[in-house]
């Protein structure tokens, strides 16, 4: 397949005034009739009338009532169209029951549902399936289903039919239809201008007890977007539907958001605190898309970060406002480094705005989403809060109803602030994680910080000119007091120095506060300096970062030189854990250790080939040493942070549980699981139960709990996903593949449900020590299953191939084993375009 290039963009030759669709539902033979009013686009030079269409059986087609025979290919059709307004009519037949790819119209547990982003609408009917073609849609659904939903406001309905009208012009990727035996959890919201909005969360019977939290999250989101961005909802109705079989988290279809059930259904008994926080964030994210994505959409898929980066940034602001901003920032940076830095430093590296793709589904990445959000954060830091909101107001005013570009977005900021953002634009076009080397000098009361930026080459991009970087810096005096409050230094050169005067003594710098730019900071710091920052930094992110760096330096020395656990780290982290003035959630995060993958990348960057088993051994040794070091403190913390009273998934309670469960992890290393078993037996919420379950598995005492957990929860597919994944994640490295393999033989394992597939094989891929075990069993098992999944669900298969993206870090033996598996995938007959592109890029 040929790549598509950003530079080749041309507008479609026709505009659409209205779309009328009639669906006659039937699992294996749904009929779709379309009536579309086209007119020539005065801004287009290419007037080819091409409609996308895939896997459609064309029954009839007509232009202005005259039956025609279009020219068909497997991508769509072309026809002769008049150079004047005309009406296109077609009828097609599709087979939702056979649609295992979960794109277009498909069936999940007997329910009809759709997923059209990015290019799924072409599997429903012939249409110009591109985001810059926007139109109002009217939909009639005919069927025997109890509930039949589409976008917009409801129209007429009766026995066997329901009609919907969406007045807001939208691209086809925002189309949605749902029909089935559903129950609603209702709600209501009054917008700031007094519009009454009916809210519903639609679920399968049996799940109605898990909707209340999602409904509250939706109302908070609606209010927050009014308060912070001045954005009001614009329809009479907002529906959310929970679907079990879904390729990603959720989808922002206009007025009819569709959610992976794991991202909306919640109850204390079945969901962890982490699940609640994630659900709240995803509901907000999809809701916020109503303005950043739907009212203003993307001109083409290269502009995906325009809606995704901005919406991720907005949902992070929301979570920070509702919960704890420092905790959210630390969690986000952990995730950014784990997923985006990993991507940016390997064969799949690409710009936040890519310049070409073969399959757009492969570009819903951490780079587009999470790095895209970091760019919004940097822009806000550079222009300041007031100018940011002024620019956003102008963006909404100028581009409402548009399919916009990154150029449009940056122009708004330039016009609102008078700044030239051409250098900033490099963050959108240049892939790779920049490195920031720091050196310093102090003499006669003047302190100088010198920065040098560089970005390693990435596929197809060798040269990286300097970017503008907001570097937030504070300075601490020798007694730990802040002698310079946070100041944003604006770096524009490859090398640049900044001076601070009037300092009585050499300060300790706190650099890249709040992680003000997505970079790798390279500074030779002593243990003493890290411990000092951990104790005194007023910036919570850098306080946490200092502890993390201390742990990492110690672990690297253990791995490389066989050093013992670093006592400076053990003392410093114990002091943080003991400090009751600090937020318990922060303390729990500070006690986390760098991940296996993070350590592997750091070793590799430093010229050492990482040995996954050696990394695992070092982490285990440090955990054990820490448990001993904190043997008096851990039981005290465990007792002190038990939560009394009714379960609430709020920041205060979840922070306390997080610290208590961290303490439980330490206790388990010394008591062999006795306390964990007591917690498991007494738990009345999933946070407590799952934490205890993990401890028991880690301690090798999980056998009874595995059986008990399954017996208790076998009726609940979302909890059973946890059961699958925890057994894999907690297995010892030499057992990981065997455990995953055995679970694929379990009666409840199915390839057709992406959640279950990810819970089992995704868990294998996300357990680096086990996945990269020298036997190669992990590589082989994952490959076996990816090859089986590809013909059913190319999108999920392709995404999971990224398990192999770090392969060039490892030794020759592992590289050979992986190359064999990658070649095996590529040699598979009829491999999908999605998987072919991913594996080809990884193979390099
Ligand atoms: N805009 C959506 C991205 C998406 C997606 C969602 C579900 C299934 C398949 C999908 N392909 C693309 C989700 C979001 O970012 O909000
Ligand atoms: Zn999104």
Around 651, how many Cα atoms within 13 Å sit in the side-chain half-sphere? 13
Question: Does the Cβ of 286 fall within 6 Å of ligand 1?
Answer: yes
CATH class of 4-266: mainly beta
pLDDT for res 354: 98
Residue identified by tokens 């591109």 is: 130
Q: Cα(308) to centroid of ligand 2, in Å? A: 5
Distances (CA, A) of 255 to 171, 182, 630, 726: 14, 17, 52, 36
Is the CB–ligand 1 distance for residue 654 below 6 Å? Answer: no
CATH number of 714-844: 1.25.50.10
Query: From the CB of 251, is ligand 1 less than 6 Å away?
Result: yes
CA of 249 to the centre of ligand 1 (A): 7
Q: Ligand 1: distance of its center to the CA of 248 in Å?
A: 6
CATH 3.40.1050.10 fits 435-525, yes or no: no
pLDDT tens sequence across 123-136: 999 999 999 999 99
Testing ligand 1's pocket by substitution, the residue of 101, 131, 364 carrying the most ligand atoms inside 8 A of its CB is: 364
Whether 285 lines ligand 1, by a CB cut-off of 6 Å, is yes
CA-to-CA distance for 333 and 337, rounded, in angstroms?
A: 6
164 to 24, 134, 156, 177, 179: CA distances (angstroms): 14, 17, 8, 10, 13
Q: Would strands 237-243 and 196-203 be described as parallel, antiparallel, or unpaired?
A: parallel
364 lines ligand 1 (CB under 6 A): yes
Residue with tokens 């306080």: 543
DSSP letters spanning 481-516: -EEEEEEEEEE-SSEEEEEE---SSPPEEEESGGG-
Q: Are 307 and 408 in contact (CB under 8 A)?
A: no
Cβ(6)–Cβ(354) under 8 Å? yes
What is the per-residue pLDDT for 1? 83
CATH 1.10.390.10 domain extents, the chain: 297-423
Identify the pLDDT of residue 693: 98
- Ligand 1 neighbourhood includes 248 CB (under 6 angstroms): yes
Q: Which H, E and C letters describe 146-201, residue by residue?
A: CEEEECCEEEEEECCEEEEEEEEEECHHHCCEEEECCEEEEEEEECCCCCEEEEEE
Name the 3-class secondary structure at 550: helix
**Prior bond of 724 cis (ω within 30°):** no
d(CA 297, ligand 1 centre) in Å:
14
Contact 522, 438 (CB under 8 A): yes
**Residue-level pLDDT at 49:** 98
Cβ–ligand 1 contact at 308 (below 6 Å): yes
β-bridge pairing 297-298 and 403-404: parallel
What would the pLDDT profile of 49-87 be if each residue is shown by its tens digit?
A: 999 999 999 999 999 999 999 999 999 999 999 999 999
Which are the catalytic amino acids? 286
Q: ∠782-690-323 over CA atoms, to 5°?
A: 105
Could you say which residues of the chain have pLDDT below 50?
none
Which protein residue has the closest C-alpha to ligand 1 atom 11?
Answer: 117
Ligand 1 center–CA 308 separation, angstroms: 10
Q: Among the CATH numbers 1.10.3720.10, 1.10.390.10, 3.40.309.10, 3.40.1160.10, which is that of 297-423?
A: 1.10.390.10
**How far is ligand 2, taken at its centre, from the CA of residue 640, in Å?**
39
Predicted pLDDT of residue 311:
99
CA–CA distance, 297 with 307 (Å, rounded to integer): 7
Neighbours of ion ligand 2 (CB under 5 A): 308, 311
Ligand 1 pocket: which of 250, 252, 303 to mutate (most atoms <8 Å of CB)?
Answer: 250
Enumerate residues 6+ apart whose C-beta is below 8 A from 314: 225, 229, 284, 285, 288, 292
Give the ligand whose atoms come closest to the C-alpha of residue 362: 1
- CATH code 2.60.40.1730 region(s) in the chain: 4-266
Residue ranges matching CATH 2.60.40.1840 in the chain: 435-525
């Amino acid at each position: 397949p040929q790549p598509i290039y950003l530079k080749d963009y041309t507008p479609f030759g026709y505009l659409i005034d209205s779309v009328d669709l009639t669906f006659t539902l039937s699992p294996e033979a749904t009929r779709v009739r379309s009536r579309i009013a086209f007119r020539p686009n005065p801004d287009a030079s290419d007037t080819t009338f091409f409609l996308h269409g895939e896997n459609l059986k064309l029954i009839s087609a007509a232009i202005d009532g005259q039956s025609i025979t279009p020219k068909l290919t497997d991508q769509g059709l072309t026809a002769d169209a008049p150079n004047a307004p005309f009406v296109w009519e077609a009828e097609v037949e599709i087979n939702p029951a056979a649609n295992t790819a979960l794109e277009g119209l498909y069936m999940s547990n007997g329910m009809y549902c759709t997923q059209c982003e990015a290019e799924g609408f072409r599997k429903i009917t012939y249409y110009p399936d591109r985001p810059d073609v926007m139109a109002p849609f009217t939909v009639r659904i005919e069927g025997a289903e109890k509930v039949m939903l589409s976008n917009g406001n409801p129209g007429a309905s009766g026995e066997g039919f329901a009609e919907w009208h969406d007045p807001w012009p939208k691209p086809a990727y925002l189309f949605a239809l749902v029909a089935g035996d559903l129950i609603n959890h209702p709600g209501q919201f009054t917008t700031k201008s007094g519009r009454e909005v009916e809210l519903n969360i639609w679920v399968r019977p049996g799940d109605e007890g898990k909707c209340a939290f999602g409904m509250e999250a939706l109302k908070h989101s609606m209010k927050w977007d009014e308060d912070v961005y001045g954005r009001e909802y614009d329809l009479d109705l907002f529906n959310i539907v929970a679907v079990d079989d879904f390729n990603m988290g959720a989808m922002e279809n206009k007025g009819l958001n569709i959610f992976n059930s794991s991202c909306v259904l919640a109850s204390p008994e079945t969901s962890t605190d982490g699940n609640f926080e994630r659900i709240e964030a995803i509901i907000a994210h999809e809701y916020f898309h109503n303005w950043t994505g739907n009212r203003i959409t993307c001109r083409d898929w290269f502009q995906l970060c325009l809606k995704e980066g901005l919406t991720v940034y907005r949902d992070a602001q929301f979570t920070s406002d509702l919960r704890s901003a420092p905790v959210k920032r630390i969690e986000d940076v952990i995730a950014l480094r784990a997923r985006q830095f990993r991507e940016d430093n390997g064969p799949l590296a690409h710009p936040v705005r890519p310049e070409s793709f073969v399959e757009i589904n492969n570009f819903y990445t951490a780079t587009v989403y999470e790095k895209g959000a970091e760019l919004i954060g940097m822009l806000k830091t550079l222009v300041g809060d007031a100018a940011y909101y002024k620019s956003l107001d102008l963006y909404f005013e100028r581009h409402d109803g548009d399919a916009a570009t990154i150029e449009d977005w940056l122009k708004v900021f330039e016009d609102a602030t008078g700044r030239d953002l051409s250098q900033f634009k490099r963050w959108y076009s240049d892939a790779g994680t920049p490195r920031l080397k720091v050196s310093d000098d102090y003499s006669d009361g003047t302190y100088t910080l010198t920065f040098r930026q560089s970005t390693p080459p990435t596929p197809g991009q060798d040269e990286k000119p300097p970017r503008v970087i907001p570097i937030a810096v504070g300075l601490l005096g020798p007694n730990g007091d802040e002698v310079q409050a946070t100041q944003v230094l604006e770096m524009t050169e490859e090398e640049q120095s900044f001076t601070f005067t009037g300092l009585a003594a050499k300060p300790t710098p706190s650099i890249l506060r709040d992680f003000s730019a997505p970079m790798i900071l390279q500074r030779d710091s002593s243990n003493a300096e890290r411990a000092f920052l951990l104790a005194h930094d007023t910036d919570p992110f850098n306080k946490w970062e200092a502890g993390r760096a201390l742990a990492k330096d110690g672990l690297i020395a253990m791995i490389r030189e066989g050093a013992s656990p670093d006592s400076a780290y053990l003392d410093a982290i114990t002091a943080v854990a003991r400090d009751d003035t600090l937020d318990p959630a922060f303390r729990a995060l500070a006690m986390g250790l760098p991940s296996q993958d993070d350590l592997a990348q750091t070793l590799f960057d430093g010229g050492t080939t990482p040995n996954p088993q050696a990394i695992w051994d070092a982490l285990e040794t440090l955990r054990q040493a820490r448990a001993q070091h904190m043997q008096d403190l851990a039981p005290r913390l465990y007792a002190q942070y038990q939560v009394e009273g009714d379960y609430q998934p709020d920041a205060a309670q979840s922070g306390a549980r997080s610290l208590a469960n961290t303490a439980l992890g330490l206790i388990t290393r010394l008591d062999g699981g006795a306390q964990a078993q007591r917690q498991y037996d007494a738990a009345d919420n999933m946070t407590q139960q799952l934490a205890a379950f993990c401890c028991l598995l880690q301690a090798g005492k999980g056998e009874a709990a595995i059986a008990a957990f399954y017996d208790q929860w076998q009726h609940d597919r979302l909890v059973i996903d946890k059961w699958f994944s925890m057994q894999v994640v907690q297995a010892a490295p030499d057992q990981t593949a065997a455990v995953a393999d055995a679970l694929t033989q379990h009666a409840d394992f199915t390839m057709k449900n992406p959640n279950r597939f990810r819970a089992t094989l995704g868990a294998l891929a996300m357990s680096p020590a086990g996945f990269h075990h020298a036997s190669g069993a992990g590589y082989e098992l994952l490959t076996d299953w990816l090859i089986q999944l590809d013909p059913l669900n190319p999108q999920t298969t392709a995404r999971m191939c990224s398990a192999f993206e770090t392969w060039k870090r490892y030794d020759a033996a592992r590289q050979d084993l992986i190359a064999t598996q990658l070649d095996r995938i590529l040699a598979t007959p009829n491999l999908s375009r999605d998987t072919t592109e991913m594996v080809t890029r990884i193979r390099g």
